[in-house]
Amino acid sequence: MRHRQQSQRGWRWIAMLAVLVNIAFSYFSDSFMPGESIATVSKKYGSLFEPAGYAFAIWVVIYIGFFSYAVYQLLSRQRNEYLFDRIAKPFVFANLLSMAWITTFRMDFISTSMLIILVMLMVSILLYVRIRNVVLRHDYDNWLSMPFSIYMGWICVATIANASILIISQEWQGALPAACARAAAPPATGPATEPARDAACGATA
């Protein structure tokens, strides 16, 4: 059902708060957090798969999309839209995970950051599937899924980059790890694998 008579809006407000805290944390973390910057940690391992510095500007687009969505789901006309209640909890979790990943990666806890980003990937897929399904049924406008499409696409790229750094940080030897590290390179330059009828996700790869 698209509608329900009473909507629990508490999680929607928590989602808005989580987005605002996440944006502030990301922006000000350089000022108060110990450890190196994300770019510095990435470069020091000499990974075979390292997104260009300007690629991280995609987070500006993601944060704008997240904030726009958070405002939209709180509008009075969306009060009884059940979709936004289903999205709210994993959306909160996604923002909390983002802050956790920034913290662990900056502190050079690469193994921990890898575990976190794998969970982020699963959450991003869940968000994408839930919202994209209703869009494809023409229950909602296509733009509503755009922030989550871009987010999932970038998390896919970031997961590969994090895995490549993990391989180097652990000094794994042998043909298989080397092949895995080299296999990370093609998505940056080759054709992106796009979910059906959704170009936004592939555009981030």
**pLDDT tens, position by position, 64-101:** 999 999 999 999 888 888 889 999 999 999 999 999 99
Tally of domains in the chain: 1
123, part of any domain: yes
Q: Is residue 19 part of a domain?
A: yes
Mean pLDDT in residue range 176-180? 50
Task: Express each pLDDT in 134-149 by its tens digit.
Answer: 888 877 888 888 999 9
Distance, CA of 199 to CA of 149 (rounded, Å): 8
- Structural domain includes residue 5: no
| Structure tokens that stand for 84 in this block | 């936004």
Residue 172 maps to a domain: yes
At 175, list the tokens. 């043909």
Residue 4 lies in a domain: no
Please indicate whether residue 142 or residue 108 has the higher confidence score (pLDDT): 108
Q: Which residue has the tokens 């180097």?
A: 168
Q: Express each pLDDT in 8-26 by its tens digit.
A: 678 999 999 999 999 999 8
So what's the pLDDT on residue 1?
A: 46
Whether 51 is covered by a domain: the verdict is: yes
Residue 134 placed within a domain? yes
Residue 63 belongs to domain spanning: 10-203
pLDDT surpasses 60 at 195: no
Please indicate, yes or no, if residue 93 is contained in any of the structural domains.
yes
| Residues contacting 205, CB < 8 A, separation 6+ | 153, 156, 157, 187, 188, 192, 193
Is it the case that residue 52 has pLDDT exceeding 70? Answer: no
Phi first, then psi: give them for residue 183, nearest 5 degrees.
Answer: -65, -15
